[in-house]
A and B are shown apart, each in its own frame.
Chain A
């Protein structure tokens, strides 16, 4: 069964450092997303990406964050100058449909746990 692949599974970084989380979405999916889940809290939307540009972003997704699809398969989330409160599980997801039509079923990767010390 097709799956979304995320690397690394766990990253520990010092406060103020930059991290890049990587994702390989399902190959025929066109819509890509990043969500995060702070331990014990809800899954929060960060950003959606379609046709090589951000289609929607949340208030959490400020200038500290950026996303990129550097090639035909990878989708990355960059967090600049990490803060303690960035510690969370970051989930990449993809869907075959999106926008105004379709059920927009999200398939999630296993997640990347980020720990900021």
Chain B
């Protein structure tokens, strides 16, 4: 059973701090890695994707990928109360059409 594991949280950080979210995956053949944000009662929305080892930055967000360790992370700099949501790590299986999701980490940013 291919799995995507995340700490469920909640992770609580003060406004302006860096939030660090982590994810591990079991399928070594995985090709692409995604971070989605989901507000309560809403659908997932893409924050960013990464498929090469290393860091990828987009505004306040940085995704980090380490395929050898099967580890993906998301850093959110200058966290804002509006960043409070559940962050879903998703992994696209190698050779297939399926993207599987972790259970998500709940983030609270305190004003």
Contacts and interface: CB of A to CB of B under 8 A. Distances in A.
A58 B98 CA distance: 9
Contact of B44 (A31, A41, A43, A55): A43
Interface of B: 31-32, 34, 38, 42-46, 49, 51, 88, 90, 92, 95-104
Interface residues of A, number: 26
A106 B92 CA distance: 10
Considering the complex of A and B, which 6 residue pairs feature the smallest CB-CB distances, nearest first?
Answer: A48-B97, A108-B43, A43-B101, A56-B97, A42-B103, A55-B97
A106 B100 CA distance: 11
A2 B24 CA distance: 32
Contacts of B88: 42-43
A83 to B, nearest CB: 23
A48 B98 contact: yes
B97 A105 contact: no
Interface stretch (A11-19, A64-72, A74-82, A95-103): A95-103
